[in-house]
Amino acid sequence: MALSEDQRLHFVLIPQKGQGHLIPMIDMAKLIAQRGVIVTIVTIPLEAEKFKSFIDRAVGWGGLQIRLLQLDVATAKPNGHDKEAATLVSHLKSFFKTASSLQQPFEQSFRNLQPAPSCIISDIVFDWTSETANKFGIPRIVFDGFGCCSRLCYHNILRSELHGSITSDSEPFVIPGLPDKIEVTKGKVPMHFLSQNSDEQLKDAIRRIKKADETAYGVMINSFQELEPKYAEMYKKAKNNKVWCIGPVSLCNQEIIDKAERGNKASIDKNQCLQWLDLKEPGSVVYACFGSFWNLTSSDMMEIGLGLESSGYPFVWVIGGGDISEIDKLLAENRFEERNKGRGLVIKGWAPQVLILSHKAIGGFLTHCGWNSTLEGVCAGVPLLTWPMGAEQFLNEDLVVQVLKIGVKVGEAEVHADDGTKLIEMTEGVGKKKQEVEKAVKKVMDGGEEGEERRKRARELGETAKKAMEEGGSSHFNMTLFIQHMMHYKAARE
């Protein structure tokens, strides 16, 4: 017997605006709605523009019940790309101020949502949703876009309080309680656990987020059991078995238009991109992209481009994440695009990454190791060239290179929490970056027996990822378990 409207489950999703957090949660909304659950996505008008067409297709073509609740609130300044205020501390303070301002208008709207919401799934930064969920008597589920490995690493670092006893940013230490030996430095752990001297407002915001995270009912993870099995089991145990791996969520996008229109508007026509790739041999192209937020200096970017060029392989190089006028000038001065016409495709701005990676011509992915990009590379079945820059990216690199053995290290950067002048500081050896990129590309693309083994492992993981999302697969089953769990919670409450 069909359920009446007021008997159906209704999940409220609250993503944050960062593309690495927003995109997977929108995909998650689609996956949940495909199970017959009503989904309401809470956002602001400026962010809604980025994914409204995606939702409209899901509703119009798929008949899914996905709704938008747009809250009209002022956005705090500065944002992360304002040159005069591009410090990590000022960026985060402004961001948290905007995040907190959503609580009152959300709670006012919450009372009118029908049917009554069954749970809140919110990004980790919205700590106030813990209070809201308690107020309305429903569970709050956390999502932060990280995998089980990095989540378990943070959990163990906090529990051990190791970070408090280490004074040097460069002193290495082994993260305790892991199935593999993962060694990091304090400078490679996100500022949530680093600074004793940060701004008091920021420290208070971080404390609230940590407390709300620790007391959350459960955690949704964009990963799949077979990718990081030991970490998934250990993290699940650490969180009282209320952890659900339901990814890779990007695989919900099967149509070309959905792959092309995830996130910001692409800076290149999808057909032009596909036609260019169609002319290349299978597995011959290197795709290079460093995400939407983490900026490299123009000179560093130019070194990367020159390294791609000198490798001798065809490449797609994405230059984005902010103001590209300086690198554009360098490209023109070096006649880079003219010199690489036909062999190199330069995309200035946002790229349809999933669409590109899913093309048979792609043979390697040079990435900053953001979790979305890491998973998308895994789904494509291609080896990774790793260049982490901050957040949990160093831990993702360790998983990719040391544990999964599907990647090769290129270079890295570190975030300095108390740096008042810049978001990112590159490590030493800037003049060597061209050679480092060239060497890593050749190792991945034509690495002999070792390279073939790496490619084989990557292909097998790609196939496993797809199976995990199919009916009967681990992630499909975990989504079923989560929905059933929420049904039981709702029944017990009533």
- Tell me phi and psi for residue 139, to 5 degrees: -75, 150
pLDDT of 24 strictly over 90 = yes
Q: Which CATH superfamily is domain 263-466 in?
A: Glycogen Phosphorylase B; (3.40.50.2000)
> Residue 279: is it exposed, middle or buried by C-beta count within 10 angstroms (0-12/13-18/19+)?
exposed
- Tens digit of each residue's pLDDT (9 = 90 or more) over 95-136: 888 888 899 999 999 999 999 999 999 999 999 999 999 999
Domain with CATH 3.40.50.2000 in the chain: 5-80+92-251+468-493, 263-466
State the Cα–Cα distance between residues 164 and 183, nearest whole angstrom.
Answer: 16
Q: Is the pLDDT of residue 478 over 70?
A: yes
H/E segment holding residue 238: helix 229-238
Confidence of residue 56 (pLDDT cuts 50, 70, 90): confident
Three-state SS at 27: helix
CB 247 within 8 A of CB 24: yes
**pLDDT tens digits, one per residue of 285-297:** 999 998 766 567 7
The arithmetic mean of pLDDT across residues 353-381, rounded, is 95
Integer Cα distance of 407 and 441 in angstroms:
11
130-152 average pLDDT score: 95
Identify the CA nearest to 57 among candidates 26, 36, 35: 26
C-alpha to C-alpha distance for 409 and 415, rounded to whole angstroms: 18
Q: What share of the chain is helix, strand, coil (3-state, %, to 5)?
A: 50, 15, 35
Say if CB 360 and CB 282 are below 8 A apart: yes
Nearest to 235 by CA among 256, 220, 215: 220
Task: Look up the CATH number of domain 5-80+92-251+468-493.
Answer: 3.40.50.2000
- pLDDT value of position 17: 81
Q: HSE of 307 in the Cβ direction (CA atoms, 13 Å)?
A: 27
408 with 386: CB under 8 angstroms? yes
| Angle (CA) 30 34 39, round 5° | 55
Q: Looking at the DSSP assignment, which residues form a beta bridge with residue 73?
A: none
User: How many residues are given for the chain?
Assistant: 494
